[in-house]
Amino acid sequence: MSRIQQHLSAAKEAGKKILVAYVVNGDPFPEATLPTLQKMVEQGVDIIELGVPFSDPMAEGPVIQKGHERALVHHTSLKGTLQLVKTFRKTNQTTPIVLMGYANPVERFGYHAFAKAAAEAGVDGLLTVDLPPEEVVDLKKELDANGLDNIFLLAPTTTVERAKKIAALASGFLYYVSLKGVTGAGHLDVADVKQKLDAFGELTDLPLCVGFGIKDPATAKAIAELADGVVIGSVLVEKMGQMEKNSADEIANAVGEIVGGIRRAI
């Protein structure tokens, strides 16, 4: 059982909702990321979703796109991201870390080499936004061989048939995108989310975590009543962008404050 699966199983037994939080490695500058991750955990984050900066983050709205741009100014890379995870693991061996990124950097690294290096660094899972289930077989073999979970997205437009195929390939948890749009978009329709989660929940035993459009304690609470967990990202990345002239500790504390409010709400 992977670290993600252990964590989620323990949370379910305790009746606890999962809080997943996303930040981009190297945003707004490299020294800010490690203390921010540590503060997020301190404030109640269960799973860290660490964005690997990429020049064309197509599923992301303007807030997270700018986060990627700020990180790339500092030449933050996939290898650098693995090094950061290695450093994080010196003081934390329990909090699961999922890398969230795009297929191109992983393909350039090489599936076998990437999966091995990621496992050695202490990564627990991978979510490749632009890799559909039809194209994931070779990568999944390498992830499975190294004990890494393969996290998939489900969308409001995903059919039940396609969701079955995705669920069969996924492990760890399934990430339901609550909106027809990019990260940070508005108009969260809680009734629609409930309808979709009910349908998808019949297809899998994997926990369903919901992201996109969760911006504050109120929306997080509404979604947590329906799902196994909530995913926050844009609200954190936006705060980090506003504070790029501040110190690493000030950024970490500000992000921690947002996380703590959402943790208490769910």
Q: Kindly report, residue by residue over 125-175, the tens digit of the pLDDT.
A: 999 999 888 999 999 999 999 999 999 999 999 999 999 999 999 999 999
Instruction: Report the number of distinct structural domains present in the chain.
Output: 1
In the predicted model, what is the mean pLDDT of residues 235-257?
Answer: 97
CATH number of the CATH domain containing 235: 3.20.20.70
Confidence at residue 187, expressed as pLDDT on a 0 to 100 scale: 64
Confidence at residue 186, expressed as pLDDT on a 0 to 100 scale: 56
User: In the chain, how long is the greatest CA-to-CA distance?
Assistant: 49
Confidence at residue 178, expressed as pLDDT on a 0 to 100 scale: 86
Closest CA to 34 of 252, 232, 253, 224: 252
Confidence bin at 188 (pLDDT 50/70/90)? confident
Confidence at residue 15, expressed as pLDDT on a 0 to 100 scale: 93
Confidence at residue 247, expressed as pLDDT on a 0 to 100 scale: 98
Confidence at residue 62, expressed as pLDDT on a 0 to 100 scale: 87
Q: What is the mean pLDDT of the chain?
A: 93
182 has pLDDT over 70: no
pTM score: 0.94
In the predicted model, what is the mean pLDDT of residues 11-32?
Answer: 96
77 has pLDDT over 80: yes
101 Cβ neighbours under 8 A, 6+ residues apart = 51, 52, 54, 78, 126, 127, 128, 129
The residue range of the domain holding 164 is 3-265
